[in-house]
Amino acid sequence: MTCARSAMPAKLTVAVGMSGGVDSAAAVLLLQERGYDVIGLTMSIWDSAMPETAPTKSGCFGPGEVENINAARETAGRLGIKHFTIPLAQEYRQWVLEEFTERRLAGYTPNPCAVCNPVMKFGFLLSRARERGIRFDRFATGHYARVVRDDATGLYRLLRGIDTVKDQSYFLTRLSQAQLPELIFPLGDKTKTEMRELVCRAGLEQIAGKSESQDFFEGDDISVLFTNGSAVPGPIIDESGTVLGQHRGIIHYTIGQREGLGIAVGHKVYVKEIVAETNTLVVAEREGVFSDGCLVSDMRWVAGKAPDLGCDFTVRLRYRHPGVATRLELRDDNKLVANFATPQFAVTPGQMAVVYDGDEALGAGWIDKP
């Protein structure tokens, strides 16, 4: 038996993580409809000391954050709630950016959002706000996901959002039992279309058409995030070791990439492996980039411990991955061996693998290698 978080008593104060977009505004509106006292929190993570970069797309990290903070503040004012900006540039650099650059130089393709959510948005944002004397009882965001409490065990469960296109449970699966009781996801049982209509009815048409964040970084060239000289050119080879050309630096490539390799071999080739030790890209035809399993490290289980692994689960290998039926084996070192029912294309070291049982997200870890 489960009970939804909406059953909590009214008049608690709920802080909403506001980005200046549709989803966080909709979260405020839904919580106000339920009778909660609501305030807005926005984290400021852009470091003005970073090299100048021209924003080319909507992203979480970049100089365009000033516009987003202003939009969040304006939306909060329109909705009649207090708004606070929490400076977290130092924490973001230490916990997200340094992790991203170190892993990228080591040949991995990390997902900064998967790190940012549990550490920054549901961690430092709340603790730093409370250190400033901002009082609130619960924290809510515009994520499309659901949290329910299992009455039989007392544990909190993380479920996919009802809107399968917008479901964001993938990014939240490393949240802990210590964090989940404090969280509310008002959009979990809603659709994106419904939320756009809601903010329009509230007179916020100007944000209803706002473009959504496409990536963590606003620029096209991530090299500005790295120390000068840390990414250097090196060879591109095929599986037999034949040199086919030269790459621009391994930070610019990921597993499965076909475009932008700068080589012509008479047929399509894709990045199969990034070998940081020799600064080498290995390419192969598409068939050579499929894997029938992977090794996953640093597993974190939502329930605090691994479930019974005696049956098949679904594993998503990146955010837009539909998932694949998988047989799991947990090693003594807490690494997970995932054996896929069907081979998967471009299994990428550094990405997060999330284990599902139906709609429930059970745990997540980092892909070590295919």
pLDDT at 282 over 60: yes
CA distances to 105, 168, 196 from 208, rounded to whole Å, are: 38, 19, 6
Please list the residues that pair with 315 across neighbouring strands: 324, 355
What value does the mean pLDDT of the chain take?
92
Task: Give me the phi and psi of 198, to 5 degrees please.
Answer: -65, -45
Beta bridge partners of 336: 296, 330
Our CA angle for 150, 153, 158, nearest 5°, is: 40
Please state, for a pLDDT cut of 70, what percent of the chain lies above it.
95
For residues 227 and 95, the model is more confident at 95
Residue 90 and residue 129 in contact, taking contact as beta carbons nearer than 8 Å: no
For the segment 12-54, what is each residue's pLDDT rounded down to a tens digit? 999 999 998 999 999 999 999 999 999 999 999 998 887 767 6
- Alpha carbons 321 and 316: distance in angstroms, whole number: 6
Interior/surface letters 196-216, b for 16+ CB within 10 angstroms, e for the rest:
bebbeebebeebbebeebebb
Sign of the Cα pseudo-torsion (174, 185, 25, 190, in order) = positive
CA 233 to chain centre: 29
Q: Which residue has the tokens 């210590």?
A: 178
Specify whether the CB–CB gap between 292 and 308 falls below 8 A: no
* pLDDT score recorded for residue 310: 85
Identify whether the C-beta of residue 256 lies closer than 8 Å to the C-beta of residue 271.
Answer: yes
Inform me whether the pLDDT recorded for 8 exceeds 70.
no
Q: Above 70 in pLDDT, residue 173?
A: yes
Q: Each residue of 235-278: pLDDT tens digit?
A: 999 999 999 999 999 999 999 999 999 998 989 999 999 999 99
- Chain segment 132-148, per-residue pLDDT in tens: 999 999 999 999 999 99
* Confidence at residue 213, expressed as pLDDT on a 0 to 100 scale: 67
Q: In the structure, what pLDDT confidence band is assigned to residue 311 with cuts at 50, 70 and 90?
A: confident
pLDDT band at 3 (very low <50, low <70, confident <90, very high): very low
Burial 257-276 (b: 16+ CB within 10 A, else e): beeebeeeeeeebbbbbbee
Q: For position 245, what pLDDT does the model report?
A: 96
For residues 65 and 45, is the Cβ–Cβ distance under 8 A? Answer: yes
Report whether 185 contacts 145 (CB < 8 A).
yes
Binning pLDDT at 50, 70 and 90, where does residue 229 land? confident
- Quick check: helix, strand or coil at residue 148? strand
pLDDT digit string, tens, across residues 103-160: 999 999 999 999 999 999 999 999 999 999 999 999 999 999 999 999 999 999 999 9
Question: Does pLDDT of 4 surpass 90?
Answer: no
d(CA 127, CA 178): 14
Q: Which residues of 352-363 are buried (b: 16+ CB within 10 A; e: fewer)?
A: bbbbbeebbbbb
Contact 183, 147 (CB under 8 A): yes
Rounded average pLDDT over 177-185:
96
- Identify the pLDDT of residue 211: 67
Give yes or no for a contact between 347 and 254, defined as CB atoms under 8 angstroms apart. no
CB–CB of 299/305 below 8 Å?
no
- Hey, what amino acid is at 143? H
Residue-wise pLDDT tens digits, 189-224:
999 999 999 999 999 988 877 767 667 888 778 888
Q: What is the DSSP string of 308-336?
A: --SS-EEEESSTT---EEEEEEE-TTS-E
pLDDT at 369: 94
Residue 283: name the closest of 246, 313, 251 by CA: 246
Determine which helix (DSSP H) or strand (DSSP E) holds 61, and give its type and residue range.
strand 59-61
Q: Is the pLDDT of residue 88 over 50?
A: yes
Cα gap 229→232, rounded to integer Å = 6
Give the residue-averaged pLDDT of 178-188. 97
pLDDT at 2: 44
3-state secondary structure of 113: helix
290 sits in which H/E element: strand 290-301
Across residues 302-325, what is the average pLDDT? Answer: 94
Rounded to the nearest 10°, the torsion over CA 116, 94, 317, 179 is -40
The residues pairing with 297 across neighbouring beta strands, listed in sequence order, are 366
